[in-house]
Amino acid sequence: MSDQTNNLALPYILPSQAQKHVPHNDALQRLDAVVQLTILAERQGPPPTPLEGDRYLVGADPEGEWLGRQGLVSIWQDGAWAYLQPNPGWRAFFLDTHQLRAFDGANWNVISLDADGSLPMIGINAAADEINRLAIASDASLFSHSGQGHQLKINKADSSETGTLVFQTAWSGRAEMGLAGSDAFSIKVSSDGNDWSTAIAVAPDGVVRTPSRPIARASLSTGTASPPPASRTGFTDIHAEQGGFELGAAVPSGTGARLIVPVEGFYLLSLSVSTLASSDHMVAIEVNGTTVIASASGPASTSPARQNTTTIVWLNQGDWLALLHSGTAQYEFGPAKTELCAVML
């Protein structure tokens, strides 16, 4: 029978042994050193003023009193250094780095729950779950570089899947950007977390689209007419529309409906006028039936003619647009004839 235990080399009290307290106390000291093992730090040489019970890991290039003791656990006991040889599987908490590490027979490795070094989920001041396997509650998060740069990667398995960043208010989505169901990069917004509008979409070939940008191309139905002076022409057809332009009530003193502005902002307005004959005429873009912001005019003529005018103006949500006439002319209406185009800048 051996006179010590197999794993920790604790001395047995042998039959008829004198001074039985000596091996007993030695065993207690070893247990005190290795149970709940806490290592202050890994050092090459002993500290100048160790305290009773302090434990250190002797580094690869030991110095002074630790010379030749590399890899051993050094314990200050009874005014001297005692040494323990760690066995594979020993675990220790390193106070200087706040890491739990395990000895594999050669190195002390940071403990991971999985053999491949990964964790199934982690919560930092928050509770992780099967969907949010990484959960962080913090005033800020920092991702920095270990060289010259840093990349944050969001990968999806297939083009039809989603890889996005979602921004929320009170756990309700308000903005989302990334690859949402395709390989086009998009930025979407929502006011309630249910109904979403795509503000920007960038195709894989680099083409940028703004599908919610207010745009309209409007005219009366195709035909000819000679509106009297001081009358208004509205619109019956919107040939191109996005972003919320719509037709409203009938224009006062005229024909057609008002073109309603969907959202406030600067707009580029372009008016094209097509006449078959004229006795000196002018057509103005009018806002809310009160304010003329641009006009196109032509001299008396018996031949077809075209005039154009373009302006940039601030418009408010709910403003309406119409055309105000002066003079007399026979107009052609319809797309690419007499029409108004509006684009929010």
Considering 150, 176, 211, which residue would you say is the last residue of a domain? Answer: 211
Euclidean distance between CA atoms 93 and 116, whole angstroms:
21
Tell me how far CA of residue 300 lies from CA of 196, 232, 310, 324, 342, in angstroms.
Answer: 52, 20, 22, 18, 28
Task: State residue 184's pLDDT score.
Answer: 96
One domain, residues 173 and 227: no
Global pTM reads 0.66
191 and 82 share one domain: no
Instruction: Tell me the CATH number at 248.
Output: 2.60.120.40
219 and 248 belong to one structural domain: yes
Residues 193 and 308 in one domain: no
Q: Does some domain include residue 135? A: no
Domain count, the chain: 3
- A 10 A CB-CB count for 157 gives 7
- Which residues of the chain, if any, have pLDDT below 70? 1-12, 14-18, 20-34, 112-117
Q: Are residues 178 and 235 part of one domain?
A: no
Name residue 224's beta-bridge partners: 332
Residue 344's CB is within 10 A of a number of other CB atoms, namely 21
**pLDDT of res. 9:** 58
Asked whether residue 189 falls in the same domain as residue 304, the answer is: no
| Concatenated DSSP letters of 10-75 | PBP--TT-SSTHHHHHHHHHHHHHHTT-EE--EESS--SSPPTT-EEEE-SS--GGGTT-TT-EEE
* Side chain identity at residue 82, one-letter code: A
- Supply the range of the domain harboring residue 169: 159-211
For 274-300, write each residue's pLDDT tens digit.
Answer: 999 999 999 999 999 999 999 999 999
Number of H helices, E strands in the chain: 1, 27
Q: Nearest Cα to 11, choosing from 21, 71, 82, 54? A: 21
Domain-located, residue 241: yes
- Flag whether 275 is in a domain: yes
Nearest-angstrom CA–CA distance, 45 and 236: 91
Last residue of one domain, picked from the residues 211, 238, 255:
211
CA distance 210 to 201: 6
Residue 257 is assigned to a structural domain of this protein = yes
**Residue type for position 317:** Q
Q: Is residue 153 part of a domain?
A: no
- Rounded Cα distance between 289 and 320, Å, is 8
Question: Do 200 and 233 lie in a common domain?
Answer: no
Place of tokens 């196109």: 296
- CA geometry: angle at 323 spanning 321 and 326, to 5°? 150
Q: What are phi and psi of 293, to 5 degrees?
A: -115, -15
Instruction: Give the per-residue pLDDT at 318.
Output: 98
With contact defined as beta carbons under 8 Å apart, do 162 and 156 qualify?
yes
Amino acid at the residue 3: D
Residues 193 and 235 in one domain: no
Q: Is 259 exposed, middle or buried (0-12, 13-18, 19+ CB in 10 A)?
A: buried
Separation of alpha carbons 119 and 112, rounded Å: 7
Contacts of 165 (CB under 8 A, 6+ apart): 154, 176, 177, 178
Same domain? For 253 and 301 the reply is yes
- Go through 53-63 and write b for each residue having 16 or more CB atoms within 10 A of its CB, e for each that does not: ebbbbbbeebe
First vs last Cα of the chain: how many Å apart?
93
Q: Do 330 and 292 share a domain, yes or no?
A: yes
139-166 pLDDT per residue, tens: 999 999 999 999 999 999 999 999 999 9
Decide if 147 is inside a domain.
no
**What's the confidence (pLDDT) of residue 31?**
66
* Residue 41 maps to a domain: yes
Helices (H), 67-223: none
Write down the pLDDT at residue 116: 66
- Are 203 and 265 in the same domain? no
Q: Note whether residue 86 is domain-resident.
A: yes
Q: Are residues 90 and 166 in the same domain?
A: no
Confidence (pLDDT) at 120: 79
